[in-house]
Structure 1
């Protein structure tokens, strides 16, 4: 999904480049086993628009550089490393602001060329990345194991039961931290007779 941009091969007036964007998720998980649910992150409000420049160096597993307006000062763009699990609604937007270009360029910004993105996305590459991330599969956790299963993920929403290595697992809980499965079936509801 792209924001309102001209169709076809037209280049809008004032366009400085394309960028992958996402919003900070309404609920983010923290703490042991993801039981601490927060609204937004420490640095960005829930729903805040973050601009994701192409990766120059890897900040760590599941993390990415992002440029956005800080929770404490909504006037300036800041460059932070965020967890990808804290982001949703990936899409492509055009860059029109020199201040945003300065934030996306970071240390590579050239004051002699203030309207030039140093490491730009192509619109097609950013759209492919957004589509892949929006169809992201949920991590699968099995009761008694603190980490997600390394080889298996489940669709969103997850199935009530799955079979792994000949064993049937039952969905115990599902939230922003992924799908948690248990070896014991859920309790059956008792319905009183007439």
Structure 2
């Protein structure tokens, strides 16, 4: 039984929120609230991946922070999104923004099923490990996010020297002690 005030579900979609703080700029040292197109905490609808060679970027639809808060479709780094989950689409405006044809692409923008959307939401929720860079080695071990302050690798102890959204740099030198 549906009434005129109820809306019918239009399809499944992965939904996420823009991270409160994002790392930008050279070396990821500039911290911002949200991203260029969306404020921190904004809800975005994540489309199925379209680039096989660039899995760091996801195409999303959301209400733009400027431009009268109209719906826009833009690529966003997956590290700048949090809280991936699967939800139904009820808004015809959101569905139109998702299905709007992209230049030079004939790929369908909708998820094939709830199971497919859930598989990607789980994958993105766990995230990718950071790339580890060691001062005296060419090895690039995967590092958990957040990175551990001390890392033992091949019998050598390394200390965290710097990290950002993409990598963690370790040094054999311990951190300097602070004067009291």
TM-score, length-scaled by structure 1: 0.72
Matched, 1:126 2:117: yes
**What secondary structure sits across from 2:100 in the alignment?**
helix
State the match for 1:104 in structure 2. 98
- CA–CA distance in 1 between the matches of 2:179 and 2:64? 51
Contact 2:134 2:158 in 1 (8 A): no
State the match for 1:60 in structure 2. 54
The one of 38, 43, 48 equivalent to 1:44 is 38
Relative to structure 1, the CA distance from residue 168 to residue 74 in structure 2 (aligned partners, 3 Å threshold; closer, same or farther) is farther
Relative to structure 1, the CA distance from residue 60 to residue 21 in structure 2 (aligned partners, 3 Å threshold; closer, same or farther) is same
State the match for 1:157 in structure 2. 146
Displacement of 1:44:
0.8
Relative to structure 1, the CA distance from residue 125 to residue 119 in structure 2 (aligned partners, 3 Å threshold; closer, same or farther) is same
Structure 1: 5+ residue stretches without partners = 1-11, 109-116
- CA–CA distance in 1 between the matches of 2:78 and 2:87? 18
- CA–CA distance in 2 between the matches of 1:58 and 1:104? 19
Contact 2:131 2:167 in 1 (8 A): yes
The one of 50, 53, 76 equivalent to 2:70 is 76
Structure 2: 5+ residue stretches without partners = 1-5, 103-107
Contact 1:54 1:121 in 2 (8 A): no
Displacement of 1:25:
0.9
Contact 1:25 1:40 in 2 (8 A): yes
State the match for 1:187 in structure 2. 176
Contact 1:59 1:81 in 2 (8 A): no
- CA–CA distance in 2 between the matches of 1:118 and 1:100? 12
TM-score, length-scaled by structure 2: 0.77
**What secondary structure sits across from 2:101 in the alignment?**
helix
Relative to structure 1, the CA distance from residue 59 to residue 41 in structure 2 (aligned partners, 3 Å threshold; closer, same or farther) is farther
